Chain A
Amino acid sequence: MRVVCLQENLAKGLSVVNRAVSSRTTLPVLQNVLLQAEGPGNLKLAATNLDLAITCWIAAQVEEEGATTVPARLLTDFVSTLPTGPLQMALDVRTQTLHLMSDRTQADFRITDAADFPVIPSGDGDVALTLAPHSLRQAIAQVAFAASTDETRPTLTGVYITADEGRLVFVATDGYRLAMRTIPMEEMTGELGVIVPARALNELARIMADADTEQNASLSVTPERNQVVFQVPGKGTHDSKGAFQQVELIAQIIDATYPNYKAIVPTDWETRTVLPTQEFHQVVRRAYLFAREASNIIRLHITPGEPGTVAVYAGSADYGEHRAELDAMVEGVEIELAFNGRYLLDVLQVLDSPQMVLETTQATRPGVIRPVGTGPEEFVYVLMPMNVR
Chain B
Amino acid sequence: MPIRILPPEVADRIAAGEVVERPASVVKELVENALDAGATYVRVEITEGGRRLIRVSDNGCGIPAAELPLAVRRHATSKITTAEDLAAIYTLGFRGEALAAIASVARLTLTSRYREEHAGARVVVEGGHIVRQETVGHPIGTTVVVEHLFFNTPARRKFLKAPRTEAGHVQRVVTRYALAFPEVRFALVSDGRIAFQSPGTGRLADAVTAVYGADVARELVPLADEEVQPETEDVLSSVPRIWGYTSKPSYTRPNAQSILFFLNKRWITDRALVQAVVQAYHTLLPTGRYPLSVVHIALDPRQVDVNVHPAKAEVRFREPRVVFTAVQRAVRAAVTASSGTPLGPVETTPVSGWTLPASWAERQRSAGSLAPSFPSLSEDTPTQGELIAQKDTSSRATLLPLLRVVGQVGGAYIVAEGPDGLYLIDQHAAHERVLYEKLMAERERAGQLPSQHLLDPIPITVDSDQGSLLAAHREMLHRLGFVIEVFGESTYLVRAVPAVLSGQHPAQVLEDVLEGLRDARDLVGEQLERAIVARICKRAAVKAGQVLSDEEMRSLVRELEACQVPHTCPHGRPTIWHISAADLAKRFGRT
Q: If the complex has contacts A295-B450, A389-B446, are A175 and B455 also in contact, measured as CB distance less than 8 A?
A: yes
Residues of chain A lying within 8 A (CB to CB) of residue B4 = none
B445 within 8 A of A: yes
Q: If the complex has contacts A386-B450, A386-B451, A388-B450, are A295 and B456 also in contact, measured as CB distance less than 8 A?
A: no
A340 within 8 A of B: yes
Q: Which residue of B lies closest to A384 (CB)?
A: B453
Determine whether the beta carbon of A340 is less than 8 Å from that of B452.
yes
B504 within 8 A of A: yes
Determine whether the beta carbon of A150 is less than 8 Å from that of B504.
yes
Determine whether the beta carbon of B452 is less than 8 Å from that of A384.
yes
B496 within 8 A of A: yes
Classify the secondary structure of B's interface with A: mixed
Q: Which residue of B lies closest to A385 (CB)?
A: B453
Residues of chain B lying within 8 A (CB to CB) of residue A175 = 454-456, 458, 505-506
Residues of chain B lying within 8 A (CB to CB) of residue A294 = 438, 442
A153 within 8 A of B: yes
Determine whether the beta carbon of A296 is less than 8 Å from that of B499.
yes
Contacts between chains A and B (CB distance < 8 A), count? 79
B447 within 8 A of A: yes
0/1 interface trace, chain A 371-382, chain B, CB 8 Å (1 if under): 000000000001
Determine whether the beta carbon of B499 is less than 8 Å from that of A150.
no
B500 within 8 A of A: yes
A344 within 8 A of B: no
Q: If the complex has contacts A264-B456, A294-B442, A295-B450, are A387 and B483 also in contact, measured as CB distance less than 8 A?
A: yes
What separation, in Å, do the CA atoms of A176 and B502 have in the docked complex? 7
A81 within 8 A of B: no
Cβ of B32 to closest chain A Cβ, rounded Å: 56
B481 within 8 A of A: yes
Determine whether the beta carbon of A297 is less than 8 Å from that of B499.
yes
How many B residues, CB 8 Å from partner?
A: 28
0/1 interface trace, chain A 160-203, chain B, CB 8 Å (1 if under): 00000000000001111110000000000000000000000000
Q: If the complex has contacts A175-B456, A386-B451, A387-B481, are A152 and B500 also in contact, measured as CB distance less than 8 A?
A: no
Interface size class of A (residues with CB under 8 A): 20 to 34
Determine whether the beta carbon of A152 is less than 8 Å from that of B453.
no
Residues of chain A lying within 8 A (CB to CB) of residue B499 = 295-297, 340, 386
Residues of chain A lying within 8 A (CB to CB) of residue B504 = 150
A227 within 8 A of B: no
0/1 interface trace, chain A 350-368, chain B, CB 8 Å (1 if under): 0000000000000010100
Residues of chain B lying within 8 A (CB to CB) of residue A263 = 456
Cβ of B477 to closest chain A Cβ, rounded Å: 13
A31 within 8 A of B: no
Q: A295-B450, A384-B496, A387-B450 are in contact. List 13 more A-B contacts (CB 8 A).
A: A148-B503, A150-B503, A173-B455, A175-B455, A263-B456, A297-B450, A317-B442, A318-B562, A384-B455, A386-B451, A386-B453, A388-B446, A389-B448
Give me the interface of A with B, judged by CB distance under 8 Å: 148-150, 152-153, 173-178, 259, 263-264, 293-297, 317-318, 338, 340, 364, 366, 382, 384-389
Give me the interface of B with A, judged by CB distance under 8 Å: 438, 441-442, 445-456, 458, 481, 483, 496, 499-500, 502-506, 508, 562
8 contacts between A and B (CB under 8 A): A152-B508, A174-B503, A264-B456, A340-B499, A385-B453, A386-B452, A387-B452, A387-B483
